[in-house]
Amino acid sequence: MALPEGGFDASELPDLLSVYYRRLFPFSQYFRWLSYGGVPKNYFQNREFSFTLRGDIYPSQHNSVKPGTFQAESKELVFDIDMTDYDDVRTCCSSADICHKCWTLMTIAIKILDRALDEDFGFLHRLWVYSGRRGVHCWVCDENARKLSQAARSAIAEYLSVVKGGIDTIKKTHLIHPIHPSIEEALNVIDGYFENYAVNKQDLFSTKETWQKILALVPDEFREGLQKDFMKARSSAERWKLLQNNLERSSKDCHLKEIKLQYSYPRLDVNVSKSINHLLKSPFSVHPKTGRISVPIDVKNVDKFDPFSVPTVSSLCKELDQKIEEERENASTENGGEPEVKRRTRDYKKTSLLGPVKILEQFIDKMEQSRKGLRLEQSDRERDF
């Protein structure tokens, strides 16, 4: 089941982009975010941005500066989770397609990584963003995160990587005792979703083809017996219970945990996180394939986030046109139809982009409050009371 395009016509994109970036893109909030209060001088002016033009090409002068002329000094620590990396463990969709059944994987990924970044690393300012098509991004914006070396970024990415191995690797998770507390915390998140996700949504125990992949991950001494029991079982739920009972009763529950991790743990594009020069799609940009806006996600309500309800550039422009027409009709007064003089409302507030912009504003407010607190602490220390 592909993500519906919401009436988006790619051929209209050039005209729609002109309206979107002229009328709707939240430039002031975007500047507030990426200038970080202007504390580092010329921070925003020295940032590098990449623009892709029609035909998936860059501006003609993008190679005019020799490689190595400029060196990146800082960048947000970023994470990219793409649904295509889960193709070996989802049955509903493949490639760029997503649906409600597999989107649960993104919800789990956000909850696991957000907790780890907060509690394990102490990062306070984490902006989660829908990519606009099939995944999510995280921007860690703390000052100490922005100044991390490539080696430090690599270490964090490796720490958060549990599922390892290419398409030909059968067993991609290996636990050792005692299990690391961070992995135990991840399993606590997964346990809240796994049965409903694996048994009901993905129906992983419904056919021999799908359950064979799972049985390939259990110890040899259990595999043959479970094969026979699975053949006799009459439902996915019954096979899931058989697997649970056999592994838990035999003190082999670590293997059950490995299965849960392999099928549900976040799969990072590690190279995106490691490099200080790697490009990542900007929040509030328009995805060229779907037309959907790359909107921030409210982590506190991540279970309610629905990628199917994210507005497209087409729907936003239609909303704006309709709102403007309504305002014109309501603008006339009783004394001769003269237009009412009203304070101009920002155009994005007239559309469904308002909610996502508010999420960004709340994120920025929190950063600014934190920065204000740090300045007060620094001022108190310098006065040496």
Question: Hey, which residues are catalytic here?
Answer: 48, 80, 82
* Closest alpha carbon to 313 in 27, 18, 30, 3: 18
CA dist., res. 206 & res. 230, Å (int): 10
CA dist., res. 63 & res. 86, Å (int): 35
Radius of gyration of the chain (CA): 25
CA distances from 256 to 95, 184, 240 (A): 27, 13, 11
List the structure tokens of 199: 């048994």
Burial class of residue 154, CB neighbours in 10 A (0-12, 13-18, 19+):
middle
List the structure tokens of 216: 């390939």
CA distances from 257 to 89, 142, 149, 195, 253 (A): 15, 33, 33, 13, 6
CA dist., res. 179 & res. 263, Å (int): 18
Helix (H, G, I), strand (E, B) or coil at 23: helix
Q: Which residues of 337-366 are buried (b: 16+ CB within 10 A; e: fewer)?
A: eeeeeeeeeebbebbebeebbebbbebbee
